[in-house]
Chains A and B, each alone.
Chain A
């Protein structure tokens, strides 16, 4: 069965929803039941990371061997990755309001996330502003590599520095992710959740890519029709 991974994705997310609400979680002050957001909010960021990694892989592959499909794949994965990043910011904002007290706090991780999202928005705007196909592919591939490195610095390196204070676990001198808010019970839901949402993200992206290929074939078909007066591939 060719689509087994799509079935897997749906099963995993259903498992996450059911166990995410009904499973046992550690009882902590301030967090209370919102600790369950770990299954939904943090997952969005893991999913974004995975998709953007695939995107930069295709960008590098394009620079090695310039093929139209690689550019399309890089752009599609970046687009879905950005989408999950925006969901991460929106969900994080709600969570922050009810645990830290404000929709937005001056936290290095939050600001880093905002900057990363802006960098990837710029990537998509840059792409759309270039008309010539090969130039667009080459420039956006190079930009994508810079964007990816910056995103890693802003999300993974900068918030972890000792000089900055962060409310996020594992950052700025706070206890690490694994030590208190991810006990073994929660891991059994969290990791399947990440896998499920990553697969959903890949599915969404695959639809975009397939549409892009169809569009490309149609466009190039029309062009050759005009030139030669008959349809040729």
Chain B
């Protein structure tokens, strides 16, 4: 709780204060440094890969069905 208040104060007052916090972290970046853009980009990439996987899965299913009817 206390550390959160300190972080908030640091974020509000001056960037110099955040350096005094210890290791440099992207706390400010995440609030207004467009890190969300990166998250959305990575999500789109993964969504694309997922869509590709689903299509491939469906195609193989179709072949399996075809193969099974041929077996009968």
Residues facing B in A196-222 (CB within 8 A) are 203-204, 207, 210-211, 214, 217-218, 221
The secondary-structure label for the interface of chain B is: helix
Q: Smallest distance from the beta carbon of A48 to chain B beta carbons, Å?
A: 18
The 8 Å CB contact of B67, one of A14, A32, A207, A217, is A217
The 8 Å CB contact of B50, one of A10, A22, A25, is A10
Measured between beta carbons, the chain A residues less than 8 angstroms from B39 are 17-18, 21-22
Contact A33 B38 (CB under 8 A): no
Tally B residues with Cβ within 8 Å of A.
25
Contact B22 A27 (CB under 8 A): yes
Cβ proximity bits B25-56 to A, threshold 8 Å, 1 near / 0 not: 11000100001101100110010001001101
- A217–B43 Cα distance when bound, in Å, is 38
Query: Given contacts A28-B23, A210-B64, are A17 and B56 in contact (CB under 8 A)?
Result: no
- A46–B35 Cα distance when bound, in Å, is 27
Smallest Cβ-Cβ distance to A9: which chain B residue: B50
Smallest Cβ-Cβ distance to B3: which chain A residue: A27
Contact A233 B71 (CB under 8 A): yes
Residue A29 is within 8 A (CB to CB) of chain B in the complex:
yes
Contact A32 B24 (CB under 8 A): yes
Contact B25 A27 (CB under 8 A): yes
Contact A17 B43 (CB under 8 A): yes
Residue A231 is within 8 A (CB to CB) of chain B in the complex:
yes
Measured between beta carbons, the chain A residues less than 8 angstroms from B70 are 221, 231
The 8 Å CB contact of A32, one of B25, B57, B60, is B25
- A14–B45 Cα distance when bound, in Å, is 11
Smallest Cβ-Cβ distance to B30: which chain A residue: A22
Contact B60 A214 (CB under 8 A): yes
Q: Smallest distance from the beta carbon of B3 to chain A beta carbons, Å?
A: 10
Top 8 A-B residue pairs of the complex, sorted by shortest distance between their CB atoms: A27-B23, A27-B25, A29-B23, A21-B39, A210-B60, A10-B50, A17-B42, A33-B26
16 A-B residue pairs with Cβ-Cβ distance under 8 Å, sorted by A, are A18-B39, A21-B39, A22-B36, A22-B39, A28-B23, A29-B23, A32-B25, A33-B25, A204-B53, A207-B53, A210-B64, A214-B64, A217-B67, A217-B71, A221-B70, A231-B70
